[in-house]
Structure 1
Amino acid sequence: MLSAFMENFTFCGEVNVQLEVRNASRYIVLHAHRMHIEAVRVAEDKLAGAVRVANFFLHPPTQVFVVVLNRSLEVQRSYNLKIIYNALIENELLGFFRSSYVLHGERRFLGVTQFSPTHARKAFPCFDEPIYKATFKISIRHQATYLSLSNMPVETSVFEEDGWVTDHFSQTPLMSTYYLAWAVCNFTYRETVTKSGIVVRLYARPDAIRRGSGDYALNITRRLIEFYEDYFKVPYSLPKLDLLAVPKHPYAAMENWGLSVFVEQRILLDPSISSISYLLDVTMVIVHELCHQWFGDLVTPVWWEDVWLKEGFAHYFEFVGTDYLYPGWNMGAALIRMLANFMGHSVFQMGLQDYLTIHKYGNAARNDLWNTLSKALRKVGKFVNIQEVMDQWTLQLGYPVITILGNETTDDIIVISQERFVYDSDAKTKDPDFGDNSYLWQIPLTIAVGNTSHISSEAIIWVSNKSEHHRIPALEEASWLLGNINQTGYFRVNYDIRNWRLLINQLTRNHEVISVSNRAGLIDDAFNLARAGYLPQNIPLEIIRYLSEEKDFLPWHAASRALYPLDKLLDRTENYNIFNEFILRQVASMYLKLGWPTNNLNKSLVQASYQHEELRREVIMLACSFGNKHCHQQAATLISDWISSNRNRIPLNVRDIVYCTGVSLMDEDVWEFIWMKFHSITAVSEKKILLEALTCSDDRNLLNRLLNLSLNSEVVLDQDAIDVIIHVARNPHGRDLAWKFFREKWKILNARYGEALFMNSKLISGVTEFLNTEEELMELKNFIKTYEEGAAASFSRAVETVEANVRWQRLYKEELFQWLRKSLTH
């Protein structure tokens, strides 16, 4: 039983724990943190006799609560532990915390939980580790002007004369504490029902529900539950699923069983002003969280070291689920995709069905999954030890780079070698294990041979040694090799320079001989290999010269993603204009071919228009970012029209680009106009891109002003403040300002986000990832000496990143500029 007092942000609770004694003990130890314990009682269930409590106390350093008894509890007896306590509904984003919104000029508050990974202990005394599962019977007492939600449906509600109501929820199945959840709010909802009778509701602010901002999410959730039930052959296991959209939350979403909580920007969507990109982002978050209702909730990791497994499956099904909703839209997902590919998708699906059926309502470790998948393979006559293969991928540091070299004496013999891929080649000398056989993977390398007009069928080679020789029968002197066909493997592929040249020539002459996904993979691999020093710096830039003829989105997207970090390494250098000019030349012709979108995009045809519209958006973004004059003029014209007419006629799919470009190019009045719009608009998707646009200014005074405003929670939501600081750090005019602000305000920032490890890590990484001078590296190291406590791992990764940036500047910057000078003069 929990009573929530929203007027003063406190709550009190009574916890009753049924204990079965396996070993005699005078001590009962649970997790509890940041609460006041009022009373404790222990009684034997059958005899109802009390066991005298000698003492009880909280131990904050270990976040445990200890009950000391006068005598030992007896083995094979059952006892009831009752704890009465009270605590605050916190302002931070963990445990049972509060949030707020404004409706008709009135600020309204709500309370919601975030228990993952170890914050249930802040809301009630419990055994707060994933291996401990129990059933939970929750009751919540609140004022009648509010409603309460939890994992299960309300069984009964008892109304009191003083305006309070107590909701008694049905008992949960066996579950861990981290995905238990509740909320107290005055939201409204819309609902739908699946074919199997599951009631799905979306709760949000009344104005958002009235506008229909949750309708898209509600509709695809129903369809996805039906899809997953069919795919896994395991029914959704609860009678209902609530989706709760809250104004602030430490994550994009949390997969609480039966009550998934989303930050508003990741679930609410206004069709009249939301872009296709935003629609797909919302889709993938929902697909991800729904997958967790099976992977994570129904079957739970034994311990946090295997949490990657549930996240890996959810990430994989982002693409499977999205492809179901929008056929033809497909990409891939790392290890799980590689596993599914070499097993065969139907066998992989069969193995997952068995895994979920065997372990439902229980815990499972990664070996349970590997064993089940191996059994599925044996059923179809394949004998691969999945555990042996996957342990190398999951227990070793990093991932490999495969290098394929031609043999100087025999055309059809190749040499394949593997090593751990690192961006900082100095790591090879720092790590004594790097050069020997300590880092080895069993790698399912798919390979094909091609020439100017066609490509062969792929063959699979299992690479398990440091270096191996293989015969490729179709390989001739003029042929090129391509590895990791359709990017199904979780590794990078490098070639000798001769093969890279043949691939570059192929892309220039007839790029369509190579598949879309492999064209994207070549671009991604080449840029990252060059960044790490495995390849000359000119190779990736020579590859992207063919893009003027590329009509598919994925290769352009790969190029854009790869150019972004390179741009940030160069944007404060003397010769940056040379790099800038080279990129503009690669983009110019496709920018002219595609033109600008109109505002008449039909959202119902996402699967048909997505690739084309995202290609156009990618090209416009590159053109405006690197200073294409027409792109700048178009952006300025659209912003000026908006200001003068007070009608926003900017095409939806490029609004963020136009806003950012306008703020960067135009005067302070435009910044103030965007700031005013940010405050007045209520659509969450629009607020997000307006806030990010403010970070694009070239005016350092405005950037400093925005940084300082970001710490005011009444102006900028807590989770959005991190994005403000990070986006200012990505602006070359604001990088040093954000870095200085971060150091000066660290105590405030760490107090706000320190316990939310993901948010703290995101902030540290975002502010430091593009620092690249010796001076900035020294500043970082000196800062860490004073303040690293509580974020040591994040700061250690930051140092590795900045060291790699500094090393690249020292070793490769001038090599890149020399090639660019020659390229631009020819």
Structure 2
Amino acid sequence: MSAGKKEFSRLPGCVSPINYSVWLKPCFKTFTFAGKVDVCVKVNEPTDTIIVNSAEIKPGSAEFCANDVTFSPAAISVQEKEETMAMKFDKPLPLGNAVLKISFEGILNDKMKGFYRNQYEVDGVKKFGAVTQFEATDARRCFPCWDEPALKATFDVTLAVPKELCALSNMNIIHEEEYKEDSNWKLIKYATTPIMSTYLLAIVIGEFDYIENHSNNGIPVRVYTAKGKSFRGEFALDVAVKCLHYYEDYFKIPYPLPKMDLVAIADFCAGAMENWGLITYRETALLIDAANSSAHARQWVALVVCHELAHQWFGNLVTMEWWTHLWLNEGFATFMEYLATDHCLPDYNIWTQFVAHDFKRALDLDAIDNSHPIEVPVHHPDEIDEIFDAISYQKGASIIRMLYNWIGDEGFRKGMHDYLTKHSYQNAATEDLWQALGEASGKPVNKVMESWTKEMGFPVIGVSSSCQTEGALTLKLTQRKFCARQNSTTASGKKVWSIPLIVATPKSPHSEAQRFLMDKETEEIVLDGVSKGSWIKMNSQCCGFYRAQYSKEMLEALQRAVETNSLMDLDRLNLVNDLFALASSGVSSTVDFLRSLTSFKNETSYAVWNDLDCNIGELSILLWDSPEVLSKFKSYVISLYEGIAKKLGWDAKPDDGHAGAMLRSMVIRRIGKFGHKDTIAEAKKRYQDHMSGKASLSADLRSPVYQIVLANAEGDELDDLIKFHNSADLHEEKERIERSLGSVSRTDDLDKVLKFAMSDNVRSNDKVFVIGSVGCGSAVGRDIAWRFVKSNWDELHDMYKGTFLISRLVRMTTENFTTAEQAEDVEVFFNEHPPAAAERTVRQSLDSIRKNVEWWGRDRKEISEWFCKQ
């Protein structure tokens, strides 16, 4: 499979847009739409041809009006592969301002991109509406346009829709009247938008209820839901109002639009989309049911709402110049979502979960050979979807958090305000942000941060200590690139990062002992007031994007600190995460990591347990093809979890808090799926009571209970749960069941799950995750899911090409293989069936497989022998 650059060129700069006047009329019987667009343009240089972006649009008439003269194109040609439309005139067009008028017809597609149809139900009756999803390059599927982020313009939208439907756009309605051609329709005109990129324009048409509140500045904030379900928007509305005020205060820039709408969409590919003034969401990313939503679901909704609202400033008000700088949008919005959620919901202790989820994901992906720099050159539009990943989002957010802790909140706030003010309604690049933050903080931000954005990867710091004078300890530090595989192709060559370091000691366990900048390959620092044998924790509070490898003596001291709970939870999490990464990459022994787990038997932090659980899950996948060793491993894990499981019990306690509910769910899931008999028995009992209506199962326990029951199914449990899924009206419940189905163990049941995935009972945006649940559930499921994907590739690829879901499908059904033969099979298949917009994902999956091959080949004997002694 070729990793080379694809042929692509951006639109010529001879003509640029100023304002679009867009008129659209959808038809829900034929799933088509009629459209007209009048574009005020500026002809910047002599040309006889206007080229715009256009895809799946049939052009009608076109004309160019300048200086009271109308020009008709001699020819209109459509280049389907390039997604462009060219209008060639008989003579050069006059320079200056003019109006380009185009009529056209389009398709309300079922691909969840462009202007597409959205199926929903009202009182059990299936109906259709229309929704737009334009990021990254799909505004061109709705109307001919200059579909590049730097080519900003204002927009005037007019919609013709049936009278009974609600129609929303970015701005408020300024005029509504009966549609003259049909009295059952209405014509709606919206206010002119601010100058913005095409990918932020939005339209939503359908039947909705809404609830409303107002921001501190009087901005109306509404959450739109399906009919009769507006009560499920109350949590999101509360978060949105608080968050909007927080950002206005933080950035010192008022929200610039007259309203803010948040809309739950039934058929939606992504988690959410930050369209200016009209944010669209998956139902599970916006709606919360007080009786049936889990703590995890509440947290997810809060984070996504805060993420999309951050974009109203960072991305919408100031936009990246080109997709190479995508991380400016997504990395900052991801960082700000945690900052805002921490402010709105401080009891969530959300930063510990940032480290457990986002920070860890970024490190894992950035350690493989086929990672990419934060600023990755983007050539062809197909490559854009590939960088909506953990590097742009999670690594971006992690290095911003590192920067934030280095320059401090005051400098960060001022720099953000200056950057957003200077570049409002314009486009910017990474260097513009570094300049603003550097000037605000007085620190060499650009010099330090270039080492993190221009190249992929991150360092591991080797740490040893010596006591040269009484009461002081000297740390000897060495940095080198960390690689997930010993046979990495990217390990060669010297690479030095500028690393803001924070060190904790017993003298200051809850704050840094010392801060300094490491910008050389080797450094020595002296810590005063620290005696020999004391624990020393690098990367205090896990703010730096690097790993640490301690000398044997230093590691032993840290493990004693874990056992006595002397380290803060983020430091305990960081320690175990580094230990596992060093073991899986071959830098240290996997058995040494397994031994270290006993230090965490008395652990109580959800974030720490979550990281331990992820590591255990990854190890179990490595052992899938070695049943005897896997069985012993499961017994060992159960012995580690039994203490916390007994302490937590099955029922909620008054002092659980937000994290306690999630910890109980995670612990029960792990020991139940690993075969703990009492847990399996209790799960079956509670499942029966829940399904019979005898006693409702807590929302936090449904996912683990469903998985445990399915993994131990002996009868019709799968059929019963699928029926329960089909009758549920809360999408969170449907999704919970869908992502549990792959837990079944019988081959015929796994085949049944895959058949169900492709049925009309599973929405297109969820089918991937049902298939993925099979691929991630067991060795048998992995093999069956991969065969299924290969057999149905044409249908699946056609369904998801051009969306991030194709990457999810590839990753979930390939990355868990563990043999060289399986790697070859994956590589050969995708060489023969190139996956548009997922080529990088295939290479990353192959990296994961080859890492597993090397890992097991290297440590197999030692792991097997160690478990035989347990």
Look up the equivalent residue of 1:415 and give its one-letter code.
Answer: K
Deviation for aligned residue 1:474? 4.0
SS in 2 for 1:490: coil
Equivalent-residue separation in structure 1 for 2:592 and 2:417 (angstroms): 45
CA distance in 1, matches of 2:154, 2:196: 6
Does residue 312 (structure 1) correspond to residue 334 (structure 2)? The answer is no
Matched position secondary structure for 1:201: strand
Structure-2 change in CA distance of 1:584 and 1:789 (3 Å): closer
Is residue 708 of structure 1 aligned with residue 755 of structure 2?
yes
**Aligned mate of 1:385, from 437, 441, 444:** 444
- TM-score using structure 1 length: 0.94
Aligned to 1:730: 776
Amino acid at match of 2:810: I
1:394 aligns with 2:453: yes
Name 2:613's counterpart in structure 1: 560
Aligned position for 1:478 = 533
SS of 2:475's equivalent? strand
Q: Secondary structure at the match of 1:82?
A: strand
1:208 correspondence with 2:261: no
Maintained 8 Å contact 2:741/2:773:
no
1:460 maps to 2:494: no
Matched-pair contact (CA < 8 Å) for 1:449–1:474? no
Structure 2 residue aligned with 1:381? none
Deviations 1:436-487 (A, max 9, x none): 32x2210011113349x97885212311122233333445432232100000
Q: Deviations over 1:680-723 (max 9, x none)?
A: 110111111122222211111111112122123x2111111100
1:442 is aligned, of 477, 498, 510, to: 498
How far does residue 622 in structure 1 lie from its aligned partner after superposition? 2.3
**CA distance 1:255–1:457, shift in 2 (3 Å):** closer
2-structure distance, mates of 1:324, 1:157: 40
Is residue 424–residue 804 contact of structure 1 (8 Å, CA) maintained in 2?
yes
SS at 1:273 equivalent: coil
Residues 707 and 741 of structure 2 are in contact (CA less than 8 Å); yes or no, is this contact kept in structure 1? Answer: yes
TM-score by length of 2: 0.89
Specify whether residues 454 and 319 from structure 1 end up closer, same or farther in structure 2 by C-alpha distance, changes over 3 A only: closer
Residues 1-45 of structure 1 show CA distances to partners (whole Å, capped at 9, x for unaligned) of: 11111121110111111111221111111111111101111111x
2:65 to 43, 57, 60: 43
Q: 1:99 aligns with which of 110, 118, 125?
A: 118
Q: Deviations over 1:69-89 (max 9, x none)?
A: 1111223x2111000000110
Distance 1:648 1:308 in 2: 47
Supply the distance in 1 between the matched residues of 2:560 and 2:215 (Cα, whole angstroms).
Answer: 53
CA distance in 2 between partners of 1:390 and 1:330 (Å): 25
Q: Does the C-alpha gap of structure 1 residues 256 and 8 become closer, same or farther in structure 2, counting only changes over 3 Å?
A: same
Match of 1:53 in 2: 73
Q: Which residue does the alignment assign to 2:792?
A: 745
Structure 2 residue aligned with 1:125: 144
Q: Which residue of 2 aligns with 1:422?
A: 483
CA distance in 2, matches of 1:652, 1:456: 37
**Paired position in structure 1 for 2:388:** none
Q: Shift in Å at residue 789 of structure 1?
A: 4.8
Q: Distance in 1 between matches of 2:218 and 2:798?
A: 45
What 5-or-longer segments of structure 2 have no aligned partner?
A: 1-22, 355-396
Q: Does 1:688 align with 2:688?
A: no
Shift of 1:491: 1.2
CA displacement at 1:537 relative to structure 2: 1.2
Q: Distance in 2 between matches of 1:455 and 1:6?
A: 60
Query: In structure 2, which of residues 546, 551, 576 is the aligned counterpart of residue 523 of structure 1?
Result: 576
Q: Does 1 or 2 have the higher relative contact order (CA < 8 Å, sep 6+)?
A: 2
Q: Distance in 1 between matches of 2:664 and 2:741?
A: 24
Residue by residue over 1:754-794, the C-alpha shift from the partner in whole angstroms, topping out at 9 and shown as x without a partner, is 111x1111111111121112221121122122112523222
Q: Which amino acid aligns with 1:370?
A: W
Structure 1 residue 216 displacement after superposition: 1.3
Does the alignment pair 1:570 with 2:590? no
Deviation track 1:164-206 (CA, whole Å, cap 9, x = no partner) reads 1111010000000011111211222221111211111111210
* Distance (Å, rounded) in 2 between the aligned partners of 1:156 and 1:99: 25
The letter for the 1-side match of 2:515 is: I
* Alignment check: 8 A CA contact 2:511 2:540 kept: no
Query: Is the CA contact (8 Å cut-off) linking 1:450 and 1:456 kept in structure 2?
Result: no
- What's 2:425 paired with? 361
Tell me, what secondary structure is at the counterpart of 2:619? helix
Aligned-residue CA RMSD in angstroms?
A: 1.9
The correspondence of residues 46-445 of structure 1 with structure 2, limited to 5 A, is 47-75=67-95, 77-160=96-179, 162-209=183-230, 212-328=231-347, 329-331=349-351, 332=354, 333-378=397-442, 384-406=443-465, 412-427=473-488, 430-431=489-490, 434-437=491-494, 439-445=495-501
1:534 to 573, 580, 587: 587
Q: Does 1:582 align with 2:582?
A: no
Residue matched to 2:11: none
Picking from 661, 667, 684, the partner of 1:619 is: 667
CA distance in 2, matches of 1:729, 1:648: 32
Where 1:133 maps in the other structure, the secondary structure is coil
Instruction: Name the amino acid aligned to 2:606.
Output: F
Aligned length: 796
In structure 2, the CA distance between the partners of 1:649 and 1:239, relative to structure 1 (3 Å rule), is same
The equivalent residue for 1:24 is 46
| 2-structure distance, mates of 1:408, 1:375 | 40
Contact kept in structure 2, 1:144 and 1:164, CA below 8 Å: yes
Q: Distance in 2 between matches of 1:730 and 1:263?
A: 23
Using the TM superposition, name which of 690-699 and 162-171 deviates more. Answer: 690-699
Residue 685 of structure 2: SS of its match in structure 1?
A: helix
Shift, 1:738, TM fit: 0.4
Cα distance, 1:457–1:145 mapped onto 2, change above 3 Å: closer
Counterpart AA for 1:633: A
Q: Describe the superposition over 1:513-540 as per-residue Cα deviations: whole angstroms up to 9, x where unpaired.
A: 1111101111111111211112221333
SS in 2 for 1:202: strand
Are 1:51 and 1:71, in contact at CA under 8 Å, matched by a contact in 2? no
The 5 A counterparts of 1:596-675 are 596-598=650-652, 609-643=657-691, 645-675=692-722
CA distance, structure 2, for counterparts of residue 748 and residue 14 of structure 1? 33
Give distance in 1, aligned partners of 2:789 and 2:802.
17
d(CA) in 1 for partners of 2:251, 2:452: 25
Q: Which sits farther off after the overlay, 585-594 or 467-476? A: 467-476
1:668 CA displacement: 3.1
Q: What is the Cα deviation at residue 736 of structure 1?
A: 0.5
Deviations 1:70-126 (A, max 9, x none): 111223x21110000001100111100112122223111111001000000111000
User: Is the contact made by 2:53 and 2:83 (CA closer than 8 Å) also made in structure 1?
Assistant: yes
Q: Offset at 1:419?
A: 1.7
CA deviations on 1:197-247 (whole Å, 9 max, x unpaired) are 1111111210322xx111211221111111111111111110011111111
Give the distance between the partners of 2:255 and 2:822, measured in 1 at CA. 52
Counterpart CA distance in 1 for 2:447 and 2:750 is 52
How far has the Cα of 1:621 moved from its partner? 2.3
CA distance in 2, matches of 1:640, 1:258: 45
CA contact (8 A) 1:504 1:542 kept: no
Taking the aligned partners of 1:356 and 1:783, their CA distance within structure 2 comes to 47
* Cα contact 1:42–1:51 (8 A) shared by 2: yes
Name the SS for the 1:591 alignment partner.
helix
CA distance in 1, matches of 2:111, 2:283: 17
Contact 1:36-1:86 within 8 A present in 2 as well = yes
| Structure 1 residue 593 corresponds to structure 2 residue 641 | no
